[in-house]
Chain A
């Protein structure tokens, strides 16, 4: 009774339903998602972050949608950080087999996504996004994704825009690609396994370093011009029989491909564009294109 009276007093003093963690971070959880978590967020999914409640948010429970067609968290502002707090954002889609087949597929059913690709400097960290109807994590430019597992989603696992960083993250069993970066991005210390298409893909001028891409349906690593692929391991990629040209490492023109291990690809171990150079790699199958810059070991076929 006394507690109720205190709450009544607090309400009179202007405290709202919005919950803050002890450190001022705005909380998101299943209970508030159904009722509306904070200003700008109506009841039900998606939880909408428009920045008016602040720029730092943290999950304090798992989130589970009850309608596969709904996005779970929609970020409609720049400079937002979402800490998943070790919790899971979960949809209703299930994926199975290889390449993964998922049902239901709902193109509006992203897990965590920005509303516009120009949203800048959004960070997502420390948790899991699983079983959503489209993309697991879909962010705009200058994004930062760390310590996130995107698993068995019907779209890409993790996608980021220009000039972003994905680090210490995993993408497993997603129907499309595991991790997809745009130009000028860095993907490092990350893993992509059992995804339907590419393990890790990136646009021009990316650095893909110290990553692992195993048993993905298309390329293990697929990068465009002027990228650096270094210290990566790709094994058993390209087993999606719906695709052709499935390679362990594929890069466009002017790439540096160094210190990698490529093995058991369905297509070429390395398929490189004009003026790309490869050195200090160990591969177990064909290398096509590129310039041999020395110190490669090509088992069976020899290096071109």
Chain B
């Protein structure tokens, strides 16, 4: 009897040991080999993996990284003033795995008024140096900028909601696809001066510009709705095509779509924006409908090339085929 009890106790101790080992192991791998990031390891003294100091957020992914593939295995709920994941290396992927990064920032109203203190939800230490970061499949809310990922980044199936500054910030050569960025205090997405692709995404109710993109970018098939400043603001040599751009802007100088330079602006529905419909710069525009905008369909200024198929209507319209 005593022998059986002793064996039972030993078994319990073994299970306890195993559980403890699992809890404190430096790096846990998901079934697919990706390194796990979760609330427990993020706040444990051991950290999530090599290079992560541990004890508190943010989880640090340093150079060289302990792996190139990471996966969230819980929500990450942040205290004041810090972000969730800080990356000081390049070429890695983070699968949010359906989980949410939840910071303390709160936003309300349209345009949103945000308060609270946080760092970027997922951020790189040097946006001009870090390259090739992929983030997919989850939510980032209540942080400073939701995702701040550097150059050559890829963001897919992410919802960036109600962050203090921008929803998504990426650099030259990046791609944003099937994302929702809404209710953020700054821009829905901001990409600096670099060339990016932004496709099939929704940017709604942000305090700043819906989508702010750099030289040589492509914005196609996006819904840009009710943002506090211009709907799409692009630097030169970009193509802005097939977007629905409604109810954006709040002050002089805003437009549904604006290009600072030479862009191709085609196939967009630009309607009911607070100032002008399109500020086309000196590029070309074709097959847009520019209607019911508060000031005028197009800004006056340097003459862009009307390639035909445009339709303008509403206040300030000079020609139904646009100027």
Interface bits A176-211 vs B (CB < 8 Å: 1, else 0): 000000011110100000000000000011110100
A38 within 8 A of B: no
B284 within 8 A of A: no
Does B182 lie within 8 Å of A81, measured CB to CB? no
Min CB gap B73→A, angstroms: 3
A144 within 8 A of B: yes
Known: A184-B202, A226-B244. A293 touches B75 (CB 8 A): no
Interface residues in B1-42 (C-beta closer than 8 Å to A) = 8, 11-12, 15-16, 19, 30-32, 36, 38
B196 within 8 A of A: no
Q: How many chain B residues touch the partner (CB < 8 A)? A: 70
B245 within 8 A of A: yes
Does A206 lie within 8 Å of B137, measured CB to CB? no
Known: A205-B245, A205-B246, A291-B311. A23 touches B180 (CB 8 A): no
A277 within 8 A of B: yes
Does B291 lie within 8 Å of A24, measured CB to CB? no
Interface residues in B265-321 (C-beta closer than 8 Å to A) = 267-272, 287-289, 291-292, 308-311, 313-314, 320
In the bound complex, residues from chain B placing their C-beta under 8 Å from that of A79 are 100, 102, 139, 141, 159, 161
A13 within 8 A of B: yes
Does A205 lie within 8 Å of B244, measured CB to CB? yes
Cα-based distance from A253 to B271 in the complex (angstroms):
9
A265 within 8 A of B: no
Range of interface residues on A (Cβ < 8 Å): 35 or more
In the bound complex, residues from chain B placing their C-beta under 8 Å from that of A183 are 225, 246
Cα-based distance from A255 to B33 in the complex (angstroms):
48
A6 within 8 A of B: yes
B222 within 8 A of A: yes
Known: A142-B161, A293-B287. A121 touches B202 (CB 8 A): no
Does B73 lie within 8 Å of A23, measured CB to CB? yes
Interface bits B199-216 vs A (CB < 8 Å: 1, else 0): 011111100000000000
Cα-based distance from A231 to B247 in the complex (angstroms):
25
Contact of A57 among B98, B141, B269, B288 (CB under 8 A): B98
Interface bits A93-125 vs B (CB < 8 Å: 1, else 0): 000000000000000000000000000110100
Known: A186-B200, A256-B268. A55 touches B98 (CB 8 A): yes
In the complex, residue of chain B having the shortest beta-carbon distance to the beta carbon of A141: B182
In the bound complex, residues from chain A placing their C-beta under 8 Å from that of B38 are 24
Interface bits B76-89 vs A (CB < 8 Å: 1, else 0): 00000000000000
In the bound complex, residues from chain A placing their C-beta under 8 Å from that of B8 are 5
A88 within 8 A of B: no
A165 within 8 A of B: yes
Cα-based distance from A192 to B74 in the complex (angstroms):
35
A294 within 8 A of B: yes
Does B73 lie within 8 Å of A255, measured CB to CB? no
Does A228 lie within 8 Å of B180, measured CB to CB? no
Contact of A163 among B99, B182, B309, B320 (CB under 8 A): B182
A279 within 8 A of B: yes
Contact of A277 among B97, B137, B311 (CB under 8 A): B311
Does A24 lie within 8 Å of B311, measured CB to CB? no
B242 within 8 A of A: yes
Min CB gap B306→A, angstroms: 12
Cα-based distance from A276 to B267 in the complex (angstroms):
11
Cα-based distance from A186 to B243 in the complex (angstroms):
10
Min CB gap A294→B, angstroms: 5
Does A228 lie within 8 Å of B269, measured CB to CB? yes
Does A144 lie within 8 Å of B159, measured CB to CB? yes
Interface residues in A258-299 (C-beta closer than 8 Å to B) = 258, 274-277, 279-280, 291, 293-295
Known: A142-B180, A186-B202, A204-B246. A54 touches B74 (CB 8 A): yes
Does B289 lie within 8 Å of A277, measured CB to CB? yes
Contact of B287 among A22, A144, A258 (CB under 8 A): A258
Interface bits A34-58 vs B (CB < 8 Å: 1, else 0): 0000000000000000000011111
In the bound complex, residues from chain A placing their C-beta under 8 Å from that of B291 are 226, 253-254, 275
B235 within 8 A of A: no
Interface residues of B (CB under 8 A from A): 8, 11-12, 15-16, 19, 30-32, 36, 38, 71-75, 97-100, 102, 137-139, 141, 157, 159, 161-162, 178-180, 182-183, 200-205, 221-226, 242-247, 267-272, 287-289, 291-292, 308-311, 313-314, 320
Interchain residue pairs with CB less than 8 A apart (9): A24-B72, A121-B139, A184-B226, A186-B222, A205-B224, A227-B269, A258-B267, A277-B289, A293-B308
